[in-house]
Structures are given as C-alpha cells and as structure tokens.
Amino acid sequence: MSQDIYVLIEHIQGQISDISAILLAAGRQLTSIHNSKLVAILLGYQSQNLINRISADHVIYVDHPSLAEFNQDAYILTVSEIIKSKQPQIVLFGNTTIGSDIAGILSISLNIELASSCSHFTQEGKIVCQICGGKIMTEAIPSSSTTLVTMVPGGYKPESNQLNFNPEIENFAPPPLNDLRTKNIRLIQPGSTDVDISKEQILISVGRGIQTKDNLELAENLANALGGVVCASRPVVDQGWMPTSRLVGKSGKHVKPKIYIALGISGAPEHVEAITNSETIIAINTDPKAPIFDIATYGTETDLFDLIDILVEKVEDAKSG
C-alpha cells in the first residue's frame, strides 16, 4: 500500500466545487506526515482544462463521455479501479451530494473502512469528525489498509494549499462504462421565482433595526457583494418591506446557511429557533444586551449605518484584488 493521499475532485458544469480546495488542503497536511504525494482524481469528459486549477503533486485524469457530469455508477466503477490499482493510504471525498453518494458503496464493495463528516486531521493524522449537529466530536485512527474519509468544511481554509498548480498528469483508462444503471438526463437551473432561503448558504437578515424600507438597500448591497440573499425577521415582513418568502422565524422558514449576518435583529426566541443551524452567525446590533449575542458566533455593537457601506467596499476590493 502506498502512503499517498488521494482526493476526489468534485466539479459541476465545468466548475470545481469549493469543497475540493478544502480536501486538497487537508490532503496536503496529511502528505507532510509521511512525506508522501498528494494525488487528485479528476473524472470528466474533455475536462483537461480543469487540471491546472488543482493544487496537487499528481493528477489522475480519466476521460469518458459517461463522466461528463457526476454519475453514480460511472464514478463508482472508475474510482474503484483506481483504488484497487494504486492502493492509496487515504482517499478524501466531500461529504456532499457527490462524495457521500459513492464513499459508502466503495467501503462495502472494496471492504475498506469509512469515516464520515470529518472536519480535520490531527498532526498525527487522526481523523476528527463531528456528529450530532456538531455537539459531539470523535477522534479515530485510519486503518492499516486504504481508508475513505468524507469531509465537511470548517477545518481548513480553502486557499491554505496554494503550492503547486503544475501537477504531473497521469491519464488513467476507464473501466467499461456501458450498462450503467443510473443515467443523467439534464441539469435544471434554479427558477426565476423567488429563492428558497432555507437552501441558501449566505444570508443577510434585517430586523427592526433597519428602521426604514429604503435602508434595505444596505443589506442588498452586502448580499450582492457576498453572493448571498436578503431575508428578514417578522417586523420587516409585517411592514411589507419584504415578501413572506423571505421570512426567517417560527412563522417563516428555518434556515441553515454557512453564514447568517443579522442586521438590527434583537434575537427574540421566535427568530432564534429558526437560525440555530447556521454554521456562523454574525450579529450587528447597538444593544449589548440583545439576546442574539447569546447565540451568535461573532457580534459587534457598531451601528450598522456606520458599518455596512465600509464593509461592502472592502468586500468588493477583496474580490477584485
């Protein structure tokens, strides 16, 4: 068995997903333990252009029409062959609609161990996972043969591994990929009807503190800058300043974004219960006693009217710089 660390790159519609950078960062940490190689697995169809966006030592590239987009059976058959042939120490997958769909199957069919929801590795290479909504953590040791690990974001900064964008390329021949039981028909883009905030990752939420309808523009500017969506607590929706589809709260939607920025929201129980599954909550409220600070990750008493314009400018600069 080799000590190399393998990463399955996830891509959709020609874009490499964010999780892939996180997997590579984790993989890079692991390779430093045994001084081994970081190998990215890229499955695609005429997707060579993606290779130099991958920061790894080595890329195993498989090209086949059935791999143009993610296809369960095609990916399973191909990755299976790669693992059998290369016997890597660890294979990292995203704990995602792609990675999670295949890791468990490979575990059974190849009779190898699987750990899921890993947030990071220790310096010695132990697998640290989170379960029960993040309330419980586990530490585990990889097996003596290949170990599969699905990872969640949070443990590594996506840009922390920026070393090598000139990987060696190995073209790997796919196994026979006819007679697949799963077949992709088409991809459907989200409709133009209003967004479903319960599925959004970046939410800028406004409460009573926004004071007037015109001030919503501040929230909108921040949302545009971050690629997020504006939502609101009940008082704002009641005023008719935002539609009920954007209501976050007991009477509205429960959300679970990566980041929830609460502008001028006090944090009444009826609102808080709908945001507790957010990964990070940032509360901006001039009242130091606002209950929202009890559940927020970060908070500031700075007046949103003094802060947001400056913040938007800085975000725009960072994006273009």
**Alpha carbon separation from 252 to 155, 196, 231, 255 (Å, rounded):** 31, 11, 10, 10
Burial category of 69 from C-beta neighbours within 10 Å (exposed 0-12, middle 13-18, buried 19 and up): middle
**Alpha carbon separation from 267 to 54, 270, 281, 283, 296 (Å, rounded):** 42, 8, 11, 9, 9
| Interface with another protein (CB under 8 A), residue from 104, 125, 174, 175 | 104
Q: Is 137 in the site for another protein (CB under 8 A)?
A: yes
Q: Is 22 in the site for another protein (CB under 8 A)?
A: yes
Range in contact with another protein (rule: CB under 8 A) among 40-48, 54-62, 161-169, 176-184? 176-184
CB of 2 to another protein, least distance (A): 19
- Give whichever of 22 and 39 is closer to another protein, judged by the CB atom: 22
- Give whichever of 58 and 180 is closer to another protein, judged by the CB atom: 180
- Give whichever of 139 and 217 is closer to another protein, judged by the CB atom: 139
Q: Is 75 in the site for another protein (CB under 8 A)?
A: no
CA quadruple 67, 18, 257, 300: dihedral, nearest 10: 180
Q: Is 287 in the site for another protein (CB under 8 A)?
A: no
Q: Is 33 in the site for another protein (CB under 8 A)?
A: no
CB of 114 to another protein, least distance (A): 5
CB of 31 to another protein, least distance (A): 20
Quote the radius of gyration of the chain (alpha carbons, Å): 22
CB of 81 to another protein, least distance (A): 16
Burial category of 5 from C-beta neighbours within 10 Å (exposed 0-12, middle 13-18, buried 19 and up): buried
Total number of residues binding another protein (CB under 8 A)? 104
- At 213, list the tokens: 């309808």
